[in-house]
Homo-oligomer: A and B are copies of this chain.
Amino acid sequence: MSLSTPKTISNAQPDFERPSTTVDVVMFAVRDGRLHVLLVKRADAPGEPFPGHWALPGGYIDVSKDDSLEACALRKLKEKTGVVSPYLEQLGSWGSKTRDPRGWHSTHAYFALLPAASVITPVSGANAAEADWVPIASKGVVHKLAFDHQVILEAAVERLRNKVEYTSLPAFLLPETFTLTELQTAFETVLGRALDKSSFRKRVEDAELVVALKNKFREGSNRPAQIYKLRSKTAPVFFPRAISETKSRPVKSTAKVRRTSESNF
């Protein structure tokens, strides 16, 4: 095989065909007590694969704008939601000859947890006719997604559910300040099952996850609730053991949470 590499591609890689590289971001948020993911509708332009399909926001790395993979993910997050520093975690990468009809593609997938305050109407971009928050149903969404995005989304949901068992990730889905009941509800929303109040509070206290705001209370039509904030806005806390289900309150959702052989957590 002999071929010339364009001058602007200066990397000293051997003259092999080079896979295309993208970054996709699974952006989670809680709306109306349900977990949602941000999806964009692909353009209907000629030559575009999966025209009109829903897809994860993402796209090619722009080597002139993006200094790193994470910078690229943050750029896409900001473009779509305006959020600058959410909880962002690498989810994994998917690459194969067949996942994109245009040829060998690999994508670096991230997942982000957006605080409730920032969940506004998303911005439609150049490559996306529409963008919208779509509720998570069991493992994924009802739409048929472009490329292998259904697989990526399911991996993100599974990773999130698994990590909730022993980390404080749902805390990043809340606004800056919150009550302990709101925190517990966030956990229950992601987990899909009810938790015992006193056990949950003991976990939170032992882990030193939150800090009480003196003299700050949530006012309402009943006893005021102490308002807290996270001790760390970005780093999750790890609990020494998994949360167990409570028997006293009914389960809210049908989603089964189960650890599987899936890799990363």
Chain A residues in contact with chain B, CB under 8 A?
Answer: 1, 3-14, 16-21, 47, 60-64, 67-69, 89-98, 100, 102-106, 108, 159, 166, 232, 234-236, 238, 240-242, 244, 259, 261, 263-265
Contacts and interface: CB of A to CB of B under 8 A. Distances in A.
Contact of A103 (B11, B19, B62, B106): B11
Contact of A89 (B63, B89, B102, B263): B263
28 contacts: A1-B8, A3-B7, A3-B9, A4-B6, A10-B103, A16-B60, A16-B64, A18-B20, A18-B63, A21-B21, A21-B95, A21-B106, A61-B95, A61-B106, A67-B96, A67-B98, A68-B97, A69-B93, A69-B94, A69-B96, A89-B264, A92-B92, A166-B166, A234-B261, A235-B261, A238-B259, A241-B242, A264-B264
A106 B241 CA distance: 35
Contact of A16 (B19, B62, B97, B259): B62
Contact of A21 (B18, B241, B265): B18
